Amino acid sequence: MKYRHRWISGDRIDLPVGKVVCVGRNYAAHIQELNNPLPDDPVLFIKPSTAMVNLDQPVQLPRNRGEVHHETEVSLLIKEPLTNASEHEATQAIMAIGLGLDLTLRELQSQQKTKGLPWEVAKAFDNSCPLSGFVAVEHIKNSEKLEFSLSVNGELRQKGTTDHMLTSIPGLLSYISRHFTLLPGDIVLTGTPAGVGPLQSGDELELSMNGTFSTRTRCI
C-alpha cells in the first residue's frame, strides 16, 4: 500500500509526501554504544519517499543483507517551507509529531563507515522508514519534553526523552534549513537513543510516546 501521511486516527493528512531528513548521533548514549565520535554539528542524511511506509502495515525486513537494526525516533511533519529559519520559525512550521523507525543495515553501514563512504545504501532502502500516524502539536502535552519507547516482544528495548538530545528540535530544524529547504510534507527524524539492536521476522513491536499514543506492528 502506498504511503500517505496520516493522523493517529487513520484519517489522511492533506500534505504531499516528500523527503525524510534524518539526524544521526543526537543522543550521547547511542554514540557511545556504537563507539562513534561526538560530532561538532548534527549529522544529516536523507531517505527518499520510497523509504516511507505506514507502521500499521507489517515491517518488511530485507532478506540476505545482514542484520537489520531498529532505531526509534521522534518524527516531525513539516507544514511550511523552511529556509535559513530561526528556531522560532522552525518551531512554528511543525504540524504534527509521531514516531518512526530508521531501519539500518548495520553491517553494511559499518563497511561504508570504514571506507569513508555515505550511509544511504544502508539507510535509504525501500521501506526503511516505517512511520506511525501523527498527532497535532496542539494536542501533545509538554511537547518540549517528549518521552518515547520501543518494546520488542514485550521487552523494553529503547527509551528516550527529547531533552537528552545533543541538539534540540528547534535547533535541528534551524540547522537543517540552513543547508537545504524543508518543504510541506517533509519529515524530520530527530535521532535515536541507546538500545538499538537487530530485528527478526515474527518480532512484535510496540512504539509509544508520552502516554499520547502507542502503535503496534510486527516484522515479516
The predicted-structure confidence for 86-130, as pLDDT tens digits, reads as follows 999 999 999 999 999 999 999 999 999 999 999 999 999 999 999
Question: What is the overall mean pLDDT for the chain?
Answer: 94
Residue 1 has pLDDT above 80, yes or no: no
CA-nearest of 167, 180, 187 to 84 is 180
- Look up residue 88 and give its three cell numbers: 522560532
- Look up residue 111 and give its three cell numbers: 563497511
Residue 32 has pLDDT above 80, yes or no: no
Q: Is 92 exposed, middle or buried (0-12, 13-18, 19+ CB in 10 A)?
A: middle
Query: In the CATH scheme, what is the code of domain 20-218?
Result: 3.90.850.10
198/50 Cα distance (integer angstroms): 22
Residue 144 has pLDDT above 90, yes or no: no
With b for 16 or more beta-carbon neighbours within 10 A and e for fewer, the 123-146 pattern comes to bbbebbbbbbbbbebeebeebeeb
